[in-house]
A and B are shown apart, each in its own frame.
Chain A
Amino acid sequence: MSTVDTRTAPRGRDRVARVVLYAILLTGLLVVVGPFLWMLLSSVKPEAEIRQATWLPRTWTLENYRDLFDRLDFPTFFVNSAIVALLVTAGNLAFCSLLGYALAKLAFPGRRAIFLLVLGTLMVPGMVTFVPQFVLVSNLGLTNTYAGLVLPFLAGPFGVFLMRQYLMSIPDDLIEAARVDGAGEWRIFLRIVLPLCRPALATLGILTFLASWNNFLWPLVVATTEDKYTLPVALALYSVGQNRIDFGLLLAGAVVVVVPALVVFLVLQRSFLRGIATTGLK
C-alpha cells in the first residue's frame, strides 16, 4: 500500500527511532482520544451520571439514543444533511479544482487579481456577511429550499486556495509534456491534473464535507419549516433549553453526527495514499 516510504537509513538507528516514535505517538493518541472517548461513554449514561463527570458508566443505558430517535424525525434530517453536504462537496471539488488549476498553472490576465479577491474573501469573518447573505438569498426566493441551503457554499475560497497551493507544488513537466503532445486544455485537466490531485481532492472533500455536515446557523435560519432542517439543527432542538442543557441528548446527538463524518474521513483518506503510484509522478 505504501509507495512513498522509500527513505532508507541504517537499520540499528531505525529500531531506536521506531521505538521512540511509537512511544511519542501512543502518548499523543491517549491525549487526543480522551474527550472523544468520554463523549462516547457519557452518551450511554443517565443524565445525573454525566454531570458527575466520571469516565465509566455505572448504569449503561441507550435511553439518550432512544429519546433522540423517538423525538426527532431522524430519516428526514439525515437525508437533508446528506443531500446538502454531498452537493456542497461535489461543487467545491469541481469548481475549486478548475479555478485552482487555472491560478496555479495557466497564465492569463486577471489571474493575480482573482487570486487576491478570492483569498481576501476567505479572510472576511463569516459573522459580518451573514445577514446580507440571508437577505440576498431570501430576495432570490430561496428560503426554505435546498438551493438556498447549498448555493452560497458551492464555491468556497478555502478550496481554491487549497487546490492552488497543492498544484503549485506539482512539477510542470507532465503538463508541458502533454501540451507538446497536442492535448487540449480540458483533456489535460481531466486526464492529468485531476488524477494528480487525488490527495488534495480527498483532503478538500473531507474538510468541505465536514464543514457542511456540521453547519448550524445557516440551515437554521434558511429553513423555515422543520422538513428542511439538517441534522445539527434538529439535534439542537431539544438538548439546549432556555435555562437548561440536556447533556445526554446533546452527547448522543454529537455521536450520531460524528459517525458519518468519520466514515467519509476513512474512505477518502484511504483513497489518497494510493493516489501517487497510479499517476506515475515518480
Chain B
Amino acid sequence: MRRHRRYAAVLAIATVLVAGCGRDTDGGQDEARSVAAGKAKGEITVWAMGTEGEKLSDFAKAFTAENPDAKVTVTAVPWDAAHQKIASAIAAKQTPDVSMLGTTWMGEFAKTGALDPTPTDLIRKDDFFPGAWATGVVGGTAYAVPWYVETRLIFYRKDLAQAAGITSPPKTWEELTAMARALKEKAGAESGLYLQPGGTGSWQSFLPFAWSNGAELTKDNKFTLDSAQMSEALQYYGSFFKEKLSTTTDLGVQGSLEQSFVTGKTGAFISGPWHIGLLSEQGGAGFTEKFGVVRMPTRKSSTSFIGGSNLAVFKDGHNRDGAWKFIEWLSRPEVQVRWYRTVTSLPAVQKSWDDPSLAGDPFLSEFGEQLKSAKAPPPITTWEQVASAVDAEIERVAKAGADSAAATKAMQERASSIGTGT
C-alpha cells in the first residue's frame, strides 16, 4: 500500500511533466442520492472553524445520544487559513466527512467536484432563508446546507442622533444622508456614517446599496456590473466621502472602529450581528442603550448582504450517510436555537426565529427581518477575484474621487476578463 502510494506520487508528477491533456469541458452534473433510513453509524469527522469548532464537539453529544452507534470527531480549524487547508485537503483527497465552509467559497469548492450534492429529500430548501440556501446552489444543484447566517445593518448612535434632532431611524437614502449630516454637524461626529473606503471586503458594504437600487451582478451568466442602478448606487456610496461624511481611513484594518463609535467620533456604520457583542463589551455598562440597529434604507427595496457559513459533505469522506444525518440534525429548528444559545451565531432555519430569545430581542429581530430578503453574490468560482476588482474600484471612488460611472465600467471590464469560471 505504502509502496503504491509512493509510486503514485512520482507517477503523478511525471505525468504532469509530460502531459498535455486537456480538461473535460463538462464538469458532469451531479445527481443527489438519497440517504439510507435509520440511525447514523460509525465515525463522522467534521472540520469547523473558530468558536464553532471549539463548541461543536460537546454540542454533538446530544446527537450521539440519539445515535449511539455514531461518533462525531470534530477538528477545530483556525479561520485564518481554513480556505487553504480545505483546498489542500481536496487536492490530496484527504478531506473529512463534513466541513464548515464560508458561503463565498461554495462556487469554487463545488466546481472541484469534491462536494456531495445535498439530498433534498432529507434536508428541505424551504426551511432556510432563501438567500442563505442560494449560496450553496451551484449550476442548479445544491451542494451545501446553511448552518448559520448573518446580514449587514446600519448601527447608529441613537443618543447622538436624537441630540442632533433625528427622531426616527432612516428609511430612505435621503434620510440616511440627512442623519449622517446631522451626526456630523450637530453631534460632532467626524464620520456621520462610516463606510469602508475600499479595501478587502468593502463590496459587502457597497452591494446592499446596489441591490436595494435594483442592480443585479449577473444576468444569464454574464456580468452586469455597469448598469445604471449600479453606478447610481456607487455614486451614492461615494457621496459620503465627497461630502466628508465618512473618513477615508480604513477603521476596520486599524481595529479602531468600535472605539471610535463608542467615543462618538463615528456616528454610524454598517456591519453584522457580531458587532452587538463587540460594542457591548467595549462600550461598557449601559452602552447598549445608546445605539440601535436599523435595516438598510429602502430605495427600490431594502436588500442587504447575507453571509455566514454552510455545511458540506465531501465525496472523499468515508461516512456519507452519517454525515448527512448529522447535518440534518443540526438543521432542526430546536437544535438551531440551542446552537444559537451556545455560540450566538444566528439560525439559518427560519422557524427557529419564532423562539422568544430571538424574536424578543430588539437588535436581533431587526436582523431577522432583514434576513428574509438578504442576498448573496452568485456562487461563481471566480467570485473572490471579481470582488477584489469591485473593492479596488470602490477605493478609487472613495479615496481618489473617481467618477462612479467610469468605476462601474472598469468593474465590468475587469470582471468580464476574469469571467465566471464556467
Chain A residues proximal to chain B, CB less than 8 Å? 47-48, 51-53, 71, 130-132, 134-136, 138-141, 143, 216-217, 220-221, 224-226, 233, 236-238, 240-245, 247
Contact = CB atoms under 8 A, between A and B. Distances in A.
Interface of B: 1-2, 5-6, 8-9, 12-13, 49-51, 53-54, 73, 75-81, 84-85, 87-89, 91-94, 96, 102, 150, 255-256, 258-259, 272, 274, 278, 281-284, 309
Given A135-B92, A139-B5, A224-B96, A242 B259 contact: no
12 contacts: A47-B282, A135-B92, A217-B84, A221-B81, A225-B73, A233-B78, A236-B78, A237-B54, A240-B50, A240-B78, A242-B49, A247-B255
A77 B413 CA distance: 48
A139 to B, nearest CB: 4
A221 B85 contact: yes
Contacts of A136: 9, 13
A241 B258 CA distance: 16
B75 A236 contact: no
**4 closest A-B pairs (Cβ-Cβ)?**
A139-B9, A138-B92, A236-B78, A48-B282
Contacts of B85: 220-221
B255 A245 contact: yes
Nearest to A51: B259
Nearest to B95: A224
Nearest to A134: B88
B78 A237 contact: yes
Contacts of A143: 92, 94
A41 B261 CA distance: 24
A240 B274 CA distance: 13
B72 to A, nearest CB: 13
Given A143-B92, A220-B81, A233-B78, 20 more contacts: A51-B256, A53-B256, A130-B84, A131-B88, A135-B92, A136-B13, A138-B94, A140-B6, A220-B77, A220-B84, A221-B84, A225-B75, A226-B76, A237-B50, A238-B50, A238-B54, A240-B78, A240-B80, A244-B274, A247-B255
A53 B282 CA distance: 13
A224 B80 contact: no
Nearest to B271: A243
A53 B81 CA distance: 27
Contacts of B50: 237-238, 240-242
B79 A71 contact: no
Contacts of A241: 50-51, 79, 274
A258 B400 CA distance: 41
Contacts of B77: 220, 237
A142 to B, nearest CB: 10
A22 B127 CA distance: 71
**Most chain A beta-carbon contacts within 10 A, residue among B79, B91, B93:** B79
A216 B85 CA distance: 11
B308 to A, nearest CB: 9
Given A220-B78, A237-B50, A237-B53, A52 B259 contact: yes
Nearest to A227: B75
B75 A224 contact: yes
Contacts of B89: 221, 224
Contact of A141 (B2, B80, B274): B2
**Most chain B beta-carbon contacts within 10 A, residue among A51, A132, A233:** A51
Nearest to A223: B75
**Most chain B beta-carbon contacts within 10 A, residue among A53, A130, A237:** A237
B75 A226 contact: yes
Nearest to B260: A51
A131 B94 CA distance: 13
A8 to B, nearest CB: 52
Contacts of B12: 135, 139
Given A51-B255, A245-B255, A134 B91 contact: yes
Contact of B281 (A47, A139, A237, A240): A47
Contact of B6 (A52, A139, A243): A139
A157 to B, nearest CB: 20
A237 B96 contact: no
A139 B79 contact: no
Contacts of B258: 51
A127 to B, nearest CB: 10
**Most chain A beta-carbon contacts within 10 A, residue among B81, B92, B102:** B92
Contacts of A141: 1-2, 5
A242 B102 contact: yes
B282 A242 contact: no
Contacts of B274: 241, 243-244
A130 B256 CA distance: 34
B278 A221 contact: no
A134 B73 CA distance: 23
B1 to A, nearest CB: 8
Nearest to A48: B282
Contacts of B73: 225
A140 to B, nearest CB: 6
B222 to A, nearest CB: 31
B75 A139 contact: no
A247 B89 CA distance: 29
A52 B262 CA distance: 10
Nearest to A216: B81
B259 to A, nearest CB: 5
